Amino acid sequence: MTKVLMLSNSTLPGTPFFTWPRPWVQEFLKTEIRKLLFIPFAAVTFSFDEYEEKVKEVFEALGYDVQSVHRQKDKKQAVAQAEAIITGGGNTFALLARMYEFDLLEIVRKKVQSGTPYIGWSAGANLACPTIMTTNDMPVVRPPSFEALDLVPFQINPHYHELKFEGQGGETRKERLEEFLVMNPSKKIIGLPEGMLLQRNGDNLVLRGNGVAKLYKHGKPVEELKPDHDLSFLL
């Protein structure tokens, strides 16, 4: 049974790192899981070591043991032995490029599809989609493909908002997502605001957190999605 927790973001303004997701993570992982494999490959302006320490501090306080895949000589073996996999945010293009570089995409996909829980925030949540084509990030590197883990059959746009700044002449987030659907009309996108998450347990998918998400389909009105909305029909 595929188990995926897709967080829009890690941290809300004015709060310590990874505060709001903690209860959701504990509920998702239950009590039998203790050893987590961390994928820090979205880090660009800070080191993998720094990212590992930041994540370790949070998760070890919750009772979990965290090991980062970048320290493992045999990275595929580390994935194979993981009780759960967590992937941090940062730059989605850098993350995907490094997953291809270390040839980890397929083994992580199969590992999660076989029942190992996966948690990703921001870029790590984008990675769970079929592609990374609805990320907000700059393409600072070029991965071999935009194809990602494909753990859910739809796209997300994390950090989603509908703000348009005074004097702004460029496209809004909504317009950018609609452009994607014009070119990819069979796809669906969930605009996931900060403080919200999607939780998949097998054939069940539900929206959690605080806020209102949006469902985009080509040629259809945008739908509002409220917390606890059952989205299993998207699977």
* Alpha carbons 88 and 90: distance in angstroms, whole number: 7
Is 122 catalytic? The answer is: yes
Query: 112 CB contacts (<8 Å, ≥6 apart)?
Result: 2, 3, 4, 85, 118, 149, 151
Is 232 catalytic? The answer is: no
* Alpha carbons 215 and 213: distance in angstroms, whole number: 7
Q: Are strands 196-201 and 84-87 parallel, antiparallel or unpaired?
A: unpaired
Q: How many CA atoms lie within 13 A of 24 on its CB side?
A: 27
Q: Rounded to an integer, what is the distance from CA 76 to the centroid of its chain?
A: 21
Is 203 catalytic? The answer is: no
Instruction: Check 10, 114, 122, 218 and give the catalytic one.
Output: 122
Residue 176 backbone dihedrals phi, psi, to 5 degrees = -65, -40
Determine contact, residues 140/163, Cβ cutoff 8 Å: no
Tally DSSP H helices, then E strands, for the chain: 7, 11
* Alpha carbons 196 and 4: distance in angstroms, whole number: 14
Instruction: Check 8, 68, 70, 137 and give the catalytic one.
Output: 137
**128 C-beta neighbours (distance < 10 Å), count:** 26
Instruction: Check 150, 159, 218, 229 and give the catalytic one.
Output: 159
Query: Which residues are known catalytic residues?
Result: 122, 137, 159
